[in-house]
Structure 1
Amino acid sequence: MSTHLRGPRRLAALAIGLAALLAAPAGPALAAPQAAPAPVIHDVAAAPVVANPGNQVGLQWDSVHLQMTATGGVKPYTWSASNLHLGTSINPTTGLISGVLRGSGTRTVTVTAKDATGATGSVTFTWRVIRDACPRC
C-alpha cells in the first residue's frame, strides 16, 4: 500500500464514525438539559402543643381527674406521662389523668402527646401531694 492511499482511507473511516456518532440517539449524558422538576411541597402540620394545666396540689388519698389537652398536629393523639404519683395513671387515648393519690411529696410530671404522624409535644409541671393527718375523718 502506498502512503498516499492511507490518508484518504483513514479520513473516510473517521467521517463514517463521526456520521454514526451524530446520527445515534442522544443518551442522558448528551441530551439537552431538562428543566428541574418542580419541588413537591408537603403540607406538614405543626407538632402538637400540650396545654400546661399549672402546678397541681392535692391531699393524700384524694381522687383526681385532670384532663390534658393539646392543639395542633394530626389527631388522634396518643398520651403518655412520666413521674406520676403512685395510684394515678394517664389514659393513652383520652389524656385523662385519674386515680387516687397515694404517698406524699412533690413530683415533676411530664405529659406527652404523640400525634398520628409521630410528632410529639410535651409539658412539664409539678404535682404536690400533702399528707393528710386524718385521711378518713
Structure 2
Amino acid sequence: MPVIQKEPSGCGIAACAALAGLTYDTARSHAAELGIHAGDRTLWSNTAHVRRLLRALDIDTDPNERPFTGWEDLPDRALLAIKWRLINGVPFWHWVVFVREAGESVVLDSKAALKNNVRRDFARMKPKWWIEIGPA
C-alpha cells in the first residue's frame, strides 16, 4: 500500500513506511528517534538517512545504488530515485517504491497531489537509479 507523505520532503519517510507496512506518522516517529526529520533536505539528496531508517525497521538494503536500465531489470522490491536533478551542484530526487508481486509491477508514490498513488505509468517516470530492498 502506498503511504502519503505529509511534508514536502517526506517522500523518504513515506517510502520507508510503505516498505515496513507502517503509517506515515509511525515511521516519522521512528525517524525522529534517529534524528531524521522531513525538513532536512538531505533526506532527498543522500541515501544515508533512508538506509538508517530502514535498518532500524529491520529492512535490509543492498549497499549499492544501481543505475536504472529498464523496468524488467529491477528486483521485486526496490527504492527508486525519480525526478533526479542537480540544484547548485547537489543531486536531489523523489523517492518511490517499486514492487513486483504475482507478475504485476507497480510504483508506490507518496506524492499527495497524485490522483492515484499506485502508479503504472512507467513511461512517464524516469528513474535515475535504484536500491534493492531485501525480502519481506
TM range (shorter): under 0.3
User: Which TM-score applies when normalising by structure 2?
Assistant: 0.25
TM-score normalised by L of structure 1: 0.25
Identify, as 1 or 2, the structure richer in helix: 2
